[in-house]
């Protein structure tokens, strides 16, 4: 018997008495009859339920008090590595897949029901065999973290790794990344590696590979096709364009944000169409200007996290700004209302922040459009106080760019100049 992770008391005793283990295929008779794999439980979860992974890939909780019977109908099957060796076609281009912890390519461990990343090249080929016909893939694990746990120091580590292979013979790089903070990472890499001469794609999946509706394999295949066929360079986020499987979008890393919690088409280019769309074997181009290809490669892999993103709202306490001053923050990016406004209750704190040498930038809470602070009196007042309008830069991108600018500049004027220069299509 396993430790029946997460199961306690009478539920644990019930499972043991029925000789059922985590990872076993079971049938449970309750108000309805359910069949699935018995899953481990979170230690802090509700103790009154048994968790099953259904054939669909979804997990459900079944109330213990309503269970009439549980039957073991099969043992969990251990993963069996494929004995077939994928023959590499040396004529195909090489790409590198760096894993940061996303489950873009993953497999199900039927002993536990858990989804685990497929991290070696052989596992990738086994999980998504179509890739072997497009490119030769080298795979490497940088770290294994949910994307909400990725911090600016992780961005630095990714950037340094990419810089170390800038002169390699890879046609391009895939970064397997969780979706929650993928647009933050893509923004930093766009700035830190400006002019990088290989295409870089960040790829994720909204639904893990054990679910029939998973977007994992298709996103990975499309990213591979894009890398080996594009003539463009830069940083892109590659995800489903819509809920069908026909088109995969390649968004510029500084113009994209996650706009839905769960849809496969959660990522959208703000203010325009995706830069490219992978449709079957075609790469459809929407972008007009390509900043990366025109720039010399000039890596600046540094940042400073003493930057705050402040979302203004009615009732906002200006003492928060005073706290940032006391904490010696170096920049504030305001997410203002409409064309770039905050209430006059903020004015004294904004003046104090400016007097203390902080860079102050303005973006808008609106999803689309640009700030225009000369239209109304309140906007003009804020301009007079020294707030810099950041056009149509996405607030999250402005935050990341400010961290990068502060980390690479010595004076407020240098920060301002860097924030207003269009490095990677952020405007």
What residues does CATH 3.40.50.1170 cover in the chain? 94-294
Q: Are 212 and 230 in contact (CB under 8 A)?
A: no
CATH 3.90.550.10 fits 9-74, yes or no: no
Q: Confirm or reject CATH 2.60.40.1180 for domain 94-294, answering yes or no.
A: no
Rounded Cα distance, 182 and 203, in Å: 8
| pLDDT tens, residue by residue, 26-75 | 999 998 899 988 887 765 556 788 988 887 666 788 888 999 999 998 87
Give me the residues paired with residue 251 across strands: 237
CATH 3.40.50.40 occupies which residues in the chain?
A: 307-420
5-19, 214-228, 339-353: which is most confident: 339-353
Q: Which pLDDT score is estimated for 43?
A: 55
Per-residue pLDDT, 117:
55
Task: Give the count of alpha carbons within 13 A of 356, CB side only.
Answer: 20
Provide the pLDDT confidence category of residue 289 given band limits of 50, 70 and 90: low
What confidence category does residue 81 fall into, taking pLDDT thresholds of 50, 70 and 90?
Answer: very low
**Number of Cβ within a 10 Å radius of residue 177:** 28
pTM: 0.83
Catalytic residue set: 103, 179-180, 258
What class is the 307-420 domain? Answer: alpha beta
Contact yes or no for 251/273 (Cβ under 8 A)? no
> What is the pLDDT, as a whole number, of residue 24?
87
Q: In the predicted model, is pLDDT for residue 126 greater than 80? A: no
CA dihedral (346, 347, 348, 354) positive or negative: positive
Residue 306 is predicted with a pLDDT of 98
Average pLDDT across the chain, whole number: 87
Distance CA(50)–CA(34), nearest Å, equals: 11
Question: Which ranges in the chain are annotated with CATH 2.30.30.520?
Answer: 9-74
């Amino acid at each position: 018997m396993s430790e029946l992770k997460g199961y306690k008391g009478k539920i644990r005793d019930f499972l043991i008495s029925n000789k059922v283990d985590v990872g076993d295929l079971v049938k449970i008779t309750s108000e309805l009859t359910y069949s699935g794999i018995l899953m481990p439980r979170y230690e802090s979860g509700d103790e009154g339920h048994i968790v099953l992974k259904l054939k669909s890939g979804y997990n459900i909780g079944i109330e213990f008090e309503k269970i009439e019977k549980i039957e073991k109908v099969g043992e969990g099957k251990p993963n069996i590595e494929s004995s077939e060796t994928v023959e590499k076609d040396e004529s195909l281009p090489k790409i590198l897949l760096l894993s940061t912890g996303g489950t873009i390519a993953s497999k199900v461990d039927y002993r536990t029901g858990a989804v685990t990343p497929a991290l070696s090249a052989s596992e990738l080929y086994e999980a998504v065999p179509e890739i072997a016909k497009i490119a030769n893939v080298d795979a490497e694990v940088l770290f294994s973290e949910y994307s909400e746990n990725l911090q600016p120091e992780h961005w630095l580590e990714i950037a340094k790794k990419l810089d170390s292979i800038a002169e390699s013979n890879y046609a391009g790089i895939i970064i397997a990344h969780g979706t929650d903070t993928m647009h933050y990472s893509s923004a930093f890499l766009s700035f830190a590696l400006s002019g990088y001469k290989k295409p870089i794609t960040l790829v994720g999946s909204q639904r893990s590979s054990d679910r029939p509706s998973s977007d994992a394999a298709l996103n990975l295949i499309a990213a591979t096709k894009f890398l080996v066929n594009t003539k463009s360079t830069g940083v892109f986020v590659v995800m489903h364009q819509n809920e069908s499987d026909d088109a995969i979008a390649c968004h510029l890393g500084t113009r994209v944000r996650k706009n839905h919690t769960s849809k496969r088409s959660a990522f959208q280019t703000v203010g325009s169409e995706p830069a490219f769309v992978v449709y079957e074997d075609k790469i459809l181009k929407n972008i007009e200007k390509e900043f990366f290809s025109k720039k010399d490669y000039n890596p600046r892999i540094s940042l400073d996290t003493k930057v705050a993103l402040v979302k203004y709202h009615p009732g906002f306490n200006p003492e928060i700004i005073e706290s940032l001053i006391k904490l010696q923050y170096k920049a504030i990016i305001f997410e203002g209302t409409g064309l770039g406004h905050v209430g006059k209750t903020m004015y004294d704190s904004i003046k104090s922040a400016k007097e203390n040498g902080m860079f102050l930038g303005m973006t808008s809470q609106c999803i689309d459009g640009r700030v225009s602070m000369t239209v109304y009196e309140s906007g003009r007042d804020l301009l007079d106080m020294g707030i810099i309008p950041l056009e149509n830069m996405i607030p999250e991108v402005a935050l990341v760019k400010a961290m990068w600018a502060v980390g690479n500049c010595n004076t407020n004027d240098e920060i301002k100049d860097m924030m207003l220069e269009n490095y990677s299509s952020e405007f």
